[in-house]
Amino acid sequence: MSKKIPERSEIAIQDQWALEDLYATDELWQENLKKLQAEIDELAGFAGRISQSAQELLAYRKLVDMFTIRAERLGNYAMRRGDQDKRDSYYQGMVGQFMKAYVEAEAKTSFEAPELLSISDEKMEEFYREEPELELYRRYFDKSRGRRAHILSATEEKLLAAAGEMSQSPQNIFSMFSNADLKFKPAVDKDGAEHPISQGTYIACLESPDRVLRKSAFENYYAAYENFRNTCAATLDANVKQLQFFADARKYASPLEASLDCTEVPTSVYHQLIESVHQNLDKMHRYVRLRKKLLGVDELHYYDIYAPMVPDQDETIPFEKAKEMALEALAPLGEDYLAMLKEGFENRWIDVYENQGKRSGAYSSGQYSCHPFVLLNYTDTLNDVFTLVHEMGHALHSYLSAKNQSITYFDYVIFVAEVASTCNESLLMQHLLGKTTGKKERAYLINYFLEQFR
């Protein structure tokens, strides 16, 4: 039988992220939550004042900056703790405490957008002249005022903000269901051995050359979801309805337009990206035919699309080796970049391995007042090495942004976010191809590269 998925308590400390860098204790977190709640009331006191003078507007924005830094730290600590084990009710409760406070802040500062709109362009220019420090926020103000068609009255904005926590329910319900509650039957390989199936191990099973194992993993994984198909459908339906509600409330033509507006991307770009894929599906079809031929199967199934087309080239890559590969591959980015990468590797920025109840997948959570945190579910595969450099691309992007931007402009939209991560993946692929001499190994890597396009 394959290695069992450990409990959180069985994960070595060096393989866990150092959340104590945010707060040394949960008690300290609670103390800071109380300070945040006091700042919410202080922010609410600016209602009706920010349009009156440049001094009031500047004071308000500075307080918002301080509040945002504290809120970001509180939220990240609670959410990262919660993602360690979705079954842990204490930390799920902590996430709930934070979200309640954050939604309260959204509601009590919902006056900001309508009040900013009440300031004429001429008066705003006077404000900039009176308080030169306001120039820092000019782009922020312009962006907010540019959404004039979708900003409602102060009362309506307050109502929508108060519904913020409730609107996240479909996503939260599915996350708890999928990561904490859902259980899968073990997959069985051609020799009859069992392999535990989880969100973290599923893809590794689909990458196996053993077709019996792949089919078993696929069937057992989706059978678990099928048993709750009505629950999944209802959760999805609820999410679609909340997106439609907020899009209608803010007078957008569609939920798509509403979602893209905050990224400053027009819907035409989104549709053009899809059309570009459609126009190149012939290459995809050629690739799939080649996959079917090289795998030697009469019919290609979903559980065949991750299997290596080049046999006997799978390599077990321990995490220590993965870090070495990352440092070698990303060397073209310079010594400063490598130094930051080493800092992350050596100071526990990364939560490495899967454990029972841990959130599936991988992500990087950027921090303005602390270093980033990266979640992995590392299983010693080449795909995991690419995931490592991908997420560290996000992490160092955030790290550098925090060092060079104010909190107002620290974050970045999704169309920018993926540049750093995919650049790192490309550098790793070029590095591996450059040092490979064997034909089979090179073919394996090219196959992997093609998979990224698929």
Active site amino acids? 391
**DSSP state letters, 232-282:** HHHHHHHHHHHHHHHHHHTT-SSHHHHHHHTTT--HHHHHHHHHHHHHTHH
Contact criterion met (CB below 8 Å) for 116 and 51: yes
- The number of CA neighbours under 13 Å toward the Cβ of 238 is 15
Query: β-strands 194-195, 187-188: how paired?
Result: antiparallel
Contact criterion met (CB below 8 Å) for 418 and 359: no
Report the SS3 class of residue 364.
Answer: strand
Residue written as token pair 């299997």 = 307
Per 3-state DSSP, the chain is made up of helix, strand and coil in percentages (nearest 5) of: 65, 5, 30
**DSSP state letters, 307-358:** S-SSTT------HHHHHHHHHHHTGGG-HHHHHHHHHHHHTT-EE-S--TTP
